[in-house]
Amino acid sequence: LDFERSDNGTMLAAGEYVGDQWLSDFGLTVSADGAGSTGFTPGGQARVFDTANPTGSDEDLGTPNSAFGGPGIGDFGSPTNSVALGKVLIIQESDKDAPDDNQFGGVISFMFVDPVK
């Protein structure tokens, strides 16, 4: 399982909201909830963020770090972000077109239909 494709192989676009894209093959649903009453999670959905092409002034989520040939920019210290991660899930900050992570964080939950061993 990754966040590049849905369970039927359809590519997920940066900015797409996700919840049940992995339900039929993996028995998995995803939900997101911003900390407190922050964030924008329509229908409790997380949002796809492309770390190779960060948007919303979120170069801190870019992978790998610019010292390793990527778009990522760290806040301090020597860079250790040396691996490209592709698409990841975020809690959206507000209702706008570009993916932008919620500065206050929150919880992204993965719920399986059948118990995981």
What confidence score (pLDDT) does residue 4 get? 96
What confidence score (pLDDT) does residue 109 get? 98
Is residue 72 within 8 Å of 64, Cβ to Cβ?
yes
What confidence score (pLDDT) does residue 80 get? 84
What confidence score (pLDDT) does residue 97 get? 95
- Give whole-number Cα distances, 18 to 5, 32, 91, 108, in Å: 11, 9, 11, 11
Write the Ramachandran bin of 44: left for phi over 0, alpha for psi from -120 to 50, otherwise beta.
Answer: left
Its pTM stands at 0.91
Strand partners, 54: none
Q: Which residues of the chain have pLDDT under 50?
A: none
What confidence score (pLDDT) does residue 52 get? 96
d(CA 56, CA 17) in angstroms, rounded, equals 16
What confidence score (pLDDT) does residue 56 get? 85
Q: At 44, give phi and psi (nearest 5°).
A: 75, 25
d(CA 74, CA 43) in angstroms, rounded, equals 32
Q: Which two tokens stand for residue 77?
A: 């210290």
3-state secondary structure of 83: coil
